[in-house]
Structure 1
Amino acid sequence: SIIYRRAVSDRISTIQNGTLLIKFKSSSPFKNPDLLIEGPELTFFGKPNFDTSKNKLLTTIKVPFTEEDNTSLINKKLKLTLIDNGIAVETNSVVRVSDTPTNELTPSASYSLYFILLVALVGGLILNLMPCVLPIILLKLFSIISQGGSKNIIIRKNFFANALGIIISFLIIGIILSLLKLAGSTVGWGIQFQHPWFIVGLCIIIVIFSLNIFGIFEIQSPGWVNRSSNSALSGQNNQENFSTNFFNGAFATLLATPCSAPFLGTAVGFALAGEILEILLIFIALGIGMALPYLVFCIFPTLVRKMPKPGNWMLIVKKILGLVLIITALWLLSILASQHSPMISLLVFLLLVLLSIVIILRNKVGKLNGTICSLILIIASVSSPYIFDKSEKIYEAKQDTIWQKLIVKNIEKLIIEEKTILVDITADWCITCQVNKIGVLDSDEIQNYIKDNKIVALRGDWTKQDSQITNYLQKFGRYGIPFNAVYGPNIPNGIALPELLTKKSVLELLQETSK
């Protein structure tokens, strides 16, 4: 008989603590099967345990394994040799995440790609409400109001350009992540903020964009881009051209990457655990979801005329939003200070100030705009040492709470001791994480409950690259943060919490787990 591997699922799943689940089908009944596994170094496999179906045509194999610290089988290739009745068949397979108990969708669950694309669409739409992109969304709202008297074709093309910028940016992110995955690198949502060069580059873009908002600097796109868009746009007074709107959409996408939203983590996790085509399709769906509000105005341009009438109030609020972007740049520099050193961050800050001064001197700005920008630079210069010093103190003070440093290998020991465990994976650059911490996890109500019930609170910091945390997240099928999980005597595998936490949801799960 010929034994072939065409399982109920074509994946190997990590289940419980250190066990692989493998399924094989055969064209004739199994008699006395055995399995040999060849895997990566520093991973050791135990004796396989076979559970064969009544008709002997399906066998489920549980294989215990151990791995050294900072290693993970997730997404690694294994060579399987199934031996039975004198016949041996070899096959290769990739380790996937198990159906870990969770109150959310997980990539390993048997959902169709169409369903996940719908989830991605909703996740992208919700991303518009996250704090990362609100300044850009509000700026676009003012653009909508100012276009109330424009022709429908102008309105359509402006909003289409914004939507196209968002969708293509998500596609580019998907392509980059696909290439990194093929190269064997760590992939995830927002991990680019672990690299200082990205933070510096984003700071430069934000400063230039904020100067553009203040009317000090006009972003000029390459001539070929303008020529490729409809020339009718360039002749309109107070109208943004096609390329400017396109880059606004791309900028909004860039600002959205440190944020997570409901459904977003599920979609990204499913994508990055799948094939290249799945990654690209899901990221395009995320882009379409985020671009939906723009597409609505593109399809129904008459909605613009129902918005409030423009006035001087728009100029004031626009300046405030420009100031918010400057503060965002300072916040990014504070992250750079906590990742490396305040001195490096201060040096980058001074370079940004110099860049701003050069742009101001190069462009003959009006007295009012020049005064406003100068005041902002002076305030920022005076406050920056305090901000950087404060950020490092906050970074050092994190250990003064009830939270202990996460050491993943200790979780199993705590479960054996029948402890209830709350895990929080966070990062300084993750805005949603900070919202969860300030509003929920570090609140007096939650902290008092943890103390009173002797719950072990573990916090992992993913501000900088940490392979231990990366491997831990992948075991839950996650490729981004925030991530929170609860373990207990009744739930040794852990239950993942939603991206956005509430005190009620955390307390209820802790109470349920402790029973």
Structure 2
Amino acid sequence: MMRTVFTLLLTILLWPVSSVQAQLQMPEPPLNISVDFARLPDSKDNAETTTGAVLAAVTIIPEKGWYTYSNQPGSLGQPTVLTASLAGSPEPLEVRYPPGVRKPDPFSPEEMVNLYLGEVTFFVSLPPDVALPADLRLHLSLLLCSEKSCMPVSLERTASLRQAEALPAAEKQPWWPEYGASSPGPQPDQVEPRHAAGPETTTGPETTKYAPEEEWSLNPRYYQSELEVGSIWKAIMLALLAGFLLNFMPCVLPVVSLKISSLVSGCVRGAQCSERARRQAFTEHNLLFAAGILAYFLVLSLVLSLFGLAWGELFQSPKLIMILSAAVFALALSLFDVYTLPIINLRSGMIDSGNPRASAFSTGVLATLLATPCSGPFLGGVLAWALVQPSMVVAIVFISIGVGMALPYLLMSAWPGLVRFFPKPGAWTVKLERIVGFFLLATCIYLINILPQDYLLSALVLLWITGVSFWIWGAWTDLNQSTRKRWTIRSAALSLVVAAAAWAVQPPEISVHWRDFSAEDFRGRLGQERLLVDFTADWCVSCKFLEQTTLTDKNLADWGKRYGLTYIRVDLTEQNPQGMSLLRELGSQSIPVVAVFPQGSDANRPLVLRDLFTSANMEEALDQLF
């Protein structure tokens, strides 16, 4: 066993170094580009060395389900910009863009934008009398989006024109009608950057909001320039030190319970075996715990380099955070005797049950995963240099960070005699289990705290169902039952957790934009827009029920499109004299109240709905008013 563990560690450490020349290719965007040349109708035959009136048609073909924003997208989205020039000439050529399709933005339906849906062609006019052959250099910048995510794309292509006389006629090409509808776009330096409208939340690659790349001209200076990295050897040395210091960072304290439990677990077994066996168990546990740390850092390096993510950016995914919080909560329950989990068992008195080797390795992976959001001393310069290097260099640096973090456990495995400094088990270990459990519950609070607000209710429901399910696991099963019955109950309990997780990680509906009420803003809009004003408060249970049943995001989005409504929310959670004044003017003293104000001369005759009402009631009122 010991030889196998050492072989595993040696493989993890040396594989990236031996493969440093290997290059992992970044995934290509789901987009194809083609360039065709044609002669415009008004051109005359010219010598073979000139182009005359030649047009380059640059066609982009996104894969099914993907779209992009037009060159003039509107208030949202990154403009699609094509820059073109001839090789050897700094002068940009004129580019003509089709107008795009005007429709509500898929991620912000209240905003109208211009989109390119499917295949689209741009046109570049080559100047006359250009010596042939000529190379046309193209740079395309756009925001490519699907239903779930957006990605900024920047591509370069070169197209060669060898002779002009044999070019086909432009008016016979399938894109000719698009050319007639196209118009010149602004120069690249005249394009104003806009915010992308993409989804608010990433899952790893599923749900992340992207903003357009901006060009900066900065020359930063660093206060501690000696800590900046310029070579792989300096990166390795600083990575080792940074990884070691990660064990002592305050941000790692929420997972210190896992480390304490791992050390004690290696000692508890010694109460039932000889001193030699006790040392062997201590060595084995620390080696496997260190192997878990190194394996995690190796996988992390591959994920970050492949997807271009930053350190800790995985925790921008609400899905990962919710699943991780449920896993940590389940581990905490096992330490309060709610149930016994056979794989990752942190209970010191149960080390001989289940699979202690899998438990040690898994605990090392979990502890390192929870520590990923932290960035300790020396780590900033190392990561800034490493994450722009080839994938194998990234792997070497990250393995070095892992070796540094695993160093205390590797040292303890090298000197198993240190086990005598750890106290032997007794009644105090039960109290330690409870303390570790409270540490894990604190970690759950930390994880939920970094979730977007829209996911908080889903996360709490997931934790509640997790608690019920693992209580069923522990209370409704025992060893006196048949194996089939016991695992049928456990499988049902796990199915509840899986179903709850599948429901919880679903992205929330697109939120409708509510404007906060102010008397000045309200007076400016009154009579000019159709207004729906909702009076609500956090302490109003009926208001919250109404928001969950009638004033849902889906209903509000539908009504906004159908009736052209502007939504204003009057929050009466705290003292709001202006809001209360408007409420009284509507003849009400209590909430919930919804008032709908029409445009024009009837704006001072709003339609008021009090207390609880249904979606059908709301639609009937809107139809009556409009």
TM-score normalised by L of structure 1: 0.47
TM-score normalised by L of structure 2: 0.39
Structure with higher Rg: it is 2
Where relative contact order (Cα < 8 A, 6+ residues apart) is larger, the structure is 1
